[in-house]
């Protein structure tokens, strides 16, 4: 296992982190199968992984309990991360949620405690306010209930900079992978400022776990899977200290540990080759749509940029199975979706060919024709 110094904390962290958001569930589908979860978490710990991340809402709100059980006998050897959803600007309510996590985890303290999924706006209006969550976090830090204040991030990349520069945080958890490098400059800034950087979604939330010869060929040396290529790419970034992978079984643990144990995951020449080929892939993708969003909103709530993004995964990146699965998910009624994905709109099947999108497109693309083409390819 490779280890990296985690920002200014001085802690030597394993390059691979265990994400406890996809733990095996029991027969009811409502609770984690604690025996299976403990076995795979212990396998990771025994292989050198010393960072585990969970959250109150994972695995039917049972992940923290499962992680707490797996920590027995390991608590002083590994670093625990969990999160506090910022639901309001009340420090008192923030404290109650912290105490709830401590109880479910059955621990006395949390090593890295995250302001969960904050944006720049929520940081300014709900977190860093009088008697708010940040003041409560500082008090919890003084009491030893948490060891480090952290944040996770899903906002626009440029909005991460002022949060980093606030000086409050020891680490950041942000999206970064082969297909989504939008946070690359921000995480470099975070590392420069002494924050530990944890990359979530190194396998692209499943996208890069699907077979893709196009992505496996990004470097000359033998790569056994698309997931391996994706993980090696993230680990090669010197500004990323931990690649946090949500693991579902012991085989996945073994595969990820093997990749995270390779010294010098990509040479400088290989990194340049990846950059060149990804730049060419982006150019090919932009021939279909540059995702400028000028075509939106659609009267039928068709998410035109998202539909074309999925077509690019199919045509350019050879991720057809993933593209079809995600395309089908855009057929699900909004009320049946998780609140995080209700804003994703619908797929091209809802298109009425009204033509408003084509009137607004600065590239004068034949959007309707391409929507119909996408629907035929991915349905």
Contact at 8 Å (CB) between 34 and 66? Answer: yes
Instruction: Report the alpha-carbon distance of residue 267 to residue 273 in Å, rounded.
Output: 10
Tell me which residue of 365, 376, 374, 379 sits closest to 311, measured CA to CA: 374
Instruction: Report the alpha-carbon distance of residue 151 to residue 119 in Å, rounded.
Output: 10
Above 80 in pLDDT, residue 25? yes
Q: What is the mean pLDDT of the chain?
A: 87
Let me know if 280 is exposed, middle or buried by CB neighbors in 10 A (0-12, 13-18, 19+). exposed
Query: 269 versus 219: which is more confidently predicted?
Result: 269
Residue matched to tokens 């593209």: 323
Instruction: Report the alpha-carbon distance of residue 141 to residue 147 in Å, rounded.
Output: 6
- Residues 275-333: tens digit of each pLDDT: 665 665 566 555 667 778 889 999 999 999 889 988 887 877 777 888 898 899 998 88
pTM for the predicted model, two decimal places? 0.76
**Dihedrals φ, ψ of 245, to 5°?**
-115, 125
Task: Give pLDDT, residue 110.
Answer: 98
For the segment 364-377, the average pLDDT, to the nearest whole number, is: 92
The answer for residues whose C-beta is within 8 angstroms of residue 337's C-beta and 6 or more apart is 329, 344
Q: Which residues of 321-340 are buried (b: 16+ CB within 10 A; e: fewer)?
A: bbbbebbeebeeeeeeeeee
Tell me which residue of 42, 65, 64, 45 sits closest to 53, measured CA to CA: 64
Q: Is the peptide bond before 227 cis (omega within 30 degrees of 0)?
A: no
Task: Give pLDDT, residue 322.
Answer: 81
- Residues 103-147: tens digit of each pLDDT: 999 999 999 999 999 999 999 999 999 999 999 999 999 999 999
Could you count the other beta carbons within 10 Å of the beta carbon of residue 157? 17
Domains of the chain, CATH where assigned = 3-267 (3.20.20.100), 287-378 (no CATH)
Give the confidence band of 101 by pLDDT, cuts at 50, 70, 90.
very high
Instruction: Report the alpha-carbon distance of residue 377 to residue 362 in Å, rounded.
Output: 25
Above 60 in pLDDT, residue 209? no
**Dihedrals φ, ψ of 256, to 5°?**
-65, -40
Contact at 8 Å (CB) between 152 and 83? Answer: yes
């Amino acid at each position: 296992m490779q280890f990296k110094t985690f920002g200014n904390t001085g802690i030597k962290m394993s390059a691979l982190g265990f994400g406890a958001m996809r733990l095996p569930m029991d027969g009811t589908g409502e609770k984690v199968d604690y025996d299976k979860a403990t076995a795979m978490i212990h396998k990771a710990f025994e292989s050198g992984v010393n960072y585990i991340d969970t959250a109150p809402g994972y695995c039917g709100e049972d992940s923290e309990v499962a992680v707490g059980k797996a920590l027995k006998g390991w608590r002083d050897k590994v670093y625990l991360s969990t999160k506090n959803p910022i639901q309001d600007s009340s420090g008192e309510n923030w404290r109650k949620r912290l105490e709830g996590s401590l109880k479910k985890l059955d621990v006395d303290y949390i090593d890295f405690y995250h302001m969960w999924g904050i944006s720049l706006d929520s940081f300014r209006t709900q977190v860093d306010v009088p008697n708010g969550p940040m003041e409560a976090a500082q008090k919890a830090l003084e009491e030893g209930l948490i060891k480090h204040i952290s944040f996770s991030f899903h906002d626009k990349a440029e909005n991460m900079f002022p949060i980093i520069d606030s000086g409050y945080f020891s680490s950041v958890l942000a999206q970064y992978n082969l297909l989504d490098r939008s946070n690359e400059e921000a995480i470099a800034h975070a590392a420069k400022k002494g924050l530990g950087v944890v990359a979530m979604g190194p396998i692209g939330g499943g996208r890069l776990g699907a077979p893709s010869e196009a992505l496996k060929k990004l470097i000359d040396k033998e790569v056994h899977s698309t997931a391996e290529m994706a993980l090696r790419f993230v680990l090669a970034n010197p500004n990323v200290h931990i690649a946090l992978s949500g693991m579902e079984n012991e085989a996945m643990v073994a595969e990820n540990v093997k990749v995270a144990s390779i010294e010098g995951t990509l040479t400088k020449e290989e990194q340049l080759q990846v950059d060149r080929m990804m730049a060419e892939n982006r150019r090919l993708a932009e021939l279909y749509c540059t995702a400028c969003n000028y075509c939106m909103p659609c009267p039928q709530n068709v998410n035109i940029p998202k539909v074309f993004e999925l077509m690019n995964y199919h045509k350019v990146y050879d991720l057809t199975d993933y593209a079809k699965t995600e395309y089908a998910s855009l057929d699900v009624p909004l009320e049946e979706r998780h609140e995080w994905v209700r804003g994703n709109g619908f797929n091209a099947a809802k298109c009425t060919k009204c033509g408003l999108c084509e009137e607004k497109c600065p590239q004068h693309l034949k959007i309707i024709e391409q929507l119909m083409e996408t629907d035929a390819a991915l349905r």
